Structure 1
Amino acid sequence: MKQSTAPDLFAPGLFRDTGFYEVFAWYRAHDPVSWQQPPGEPEGFWSVTKYHDVVSVHRDSTRMSSAKGMRLGSAERAVEAVADKMLIVSDPPAHTRMKRALIQPFSNDALVRAERHVEQVVADVVATALREPEPDLLAHIARIPSDVICAVMGIPRSDWRWIGEKTTDAFESPSEIRRVTAHSEIFKYFYDMVGGNRGAAANDFISGLTARTAGEPELTAEELVFNFSGILAGGNETTRYTLAALTLQLTEHPDQWHRLRAGHADPAVATEEGLRWSVPGMHVMRTATEAVQVGGVEIAPGQRIVTWIGSANRDTEVFDDPDTFDVGRSGNRHLSFGAGRHMCLGSRLARLEITAYLRTLRRMVRTMTLEGVPHYNGSNFTWGLDRLPVVLHA
């Protein structure tokens, strides 16, 4: 009965709008840990849709491996090339060693130094959007995470625009050739940076990583390059989607915008709701290394488990009225940054950017108008708006 009535998680265009939330709701109610067999794929996987089951998978780094790939559709050779060399595709002890080094540029002291720059970037972007409206507001707000992460990583300002364009091509281009080419160019760029051809000796980001790993095995050049690419993507794409989703919700729900603008809602609290609502990382995959139970279902060794963050963030067992956007939502335990060992490295930087954006909107913007049809990228992995026809009014 379940097979004949269950909605299709792989229906063409399912993620082109927000209808997939109804699909997730069905699975949470009827088959929260379900076996899925994607069309044309040799392997199936277990699909996990309830909040507490998702958390249990993410926190079990002993029996749930990330080194065999963390997303659906990954090429096996590509995963093997970066396994245990890239933070998001690694398990302890490799993961522990890399994270200990890579977390340093995102320490409290580093974020305090970055805060002033974040405020300046956001204010400049919003002022430009007010002065020079574009048919797609993303043309402006995409600069916020791109410029900030480039600054944090010590990338020369002259390269910021190129880096932003290549990152978007690498993860969003409909052309596989263009995606592969962009990834190769980014890797080459960072190889040159690590090798000193782009002023690595004067780069605090690189020298800091090297200095702080003294007494331990240093990160290899290959590990640095792979992880720089991961940091760039994580700091760029996902934050952009949250900024876009927040802007759209505040435009479509003027009551929520008025609450924020009048000071009846805290921008930091609204940031958490934006993260819950936007779900820039829609799913995460693990592979069972031994027999394990998830939600009462037996998972065999070697089987893949896919956790749907977009479903967990709408679970009625955890969130009151989860399908309502509420800038004042308290106790917001969303999973948009993950859980356990693989909690997002740049989560505090992302929060800093989003909160600064909301404070700046409140200070500089009177109203926002929707002047077209928003468009979603259709991805079931890094999901979000790729067209945002919103105009800001001073």
Structure 2
Amino acid sequence: MTLYIIGHGAIVNLGELTHVSKEGRLSLYSEPKKPMSFALGLHLMMQGNDKADPWQVFSFGDADTLPNYTISALREREVYWVQQNYQLPFRMLMSGVSEELSTTKRLCECPEVCASQDTHSCDGVLGVVRDGDIRLIACLGFGALGSNMGMTTRLSEKSEINQQINANLTIEQTRAEAANKELRSGRSDSALAEMNLLESEDPSLYTRLLAASKPLAESVVIARAKRRFTEVSPLDFLSYYEMIDEDLRSCLVGTLQPSQQASQLDAFAASFPFCDQGEIFHRWGLLSERDRSILTTRSTAIAKWRAGPYQALAEMKVALDSTAATDWVKAFLKFSTMESGEYDYSANPFYDGLQQKIQEFFDSPSSPRLKVWNQLAAEDQSFIQPLIGGPSFWQ
């Protein structure tokens, strides 16, 4: 039976390969080792588009060429997008939502064991899903390792249906860019009204436009947030702010300069969505413990910030205030590689300050830079070398 799997995919374990179970088939709609636009994925779910030709098809015996991709969860808004666009008469699983794929899984979770078997016995995707015709709509890039190989935004042109899907994608991309331009112009009120009407009358098309253009998705968030901010108190606005997807919240920074507030508590609540991390950190320091307690109790977003990013900012500031280059390098390395959901620990002025101090230190021939370099582990040397050059560059 045919089954569609929709999620985020990546090559995490470089060089690890697997195989499709006997009498099975796996179709991949992203180009090999490339990420894929969500807009293309949504079009592949629409009525009649199950006839589209994939970029790759793997059958039993192709173990020497199938990377063991890791499939991870969709974001909340992406789940909604899929729900609005999936029109195919086949069973569909969403990673992070469907019971079979509730957690992140590789195609095969036991490559050493399953390699000698005709059928997967592991709890990986190919082990828990036994349908004969599996169609995977997901990115196939290098994930956290990064990739400069481009993105799959269109299908191959080898069939008429592929050509039609590509043409429709181009039309919607053009419409999304025009809508974004309107929202960013002086006609934002009427442009937002049009987007609100489209969301009500044709949610499928509305979601595809957002998927086609992240700038448009951000512009909609900004326009709606600005309007909402004028209608409610700063504390009540934080409740609205928490309904915005975490990876889109950062687009609000710098878009609004909150007016003078009656209290430090209101001033912080008003500035939290719109100011950069350095300013938020400073304003937090001006609050009383009582105000901090109220804010963390009333706002989940602020509570999460205080438990995670705030602690990181404080640690970076301590390192930045230190006179020891080893402290700068240690903090820089730690927060360059740390991941925590949607928060980017490198997006703040303290991190930028650490980077500047490190560059100035290693650029100076009179500094003990070779001594500090030799204290670094080999992997840390490799990570920081693009920033500072290294001994061979200094000679």
Q: TM-score by structure 2 length?
A: 0.26
Higher relative contact order (CA 8 A, sep 6+): 1
Greater Rg by CA: 2
Q: TM-score by structure 1 length?
A: 0.26
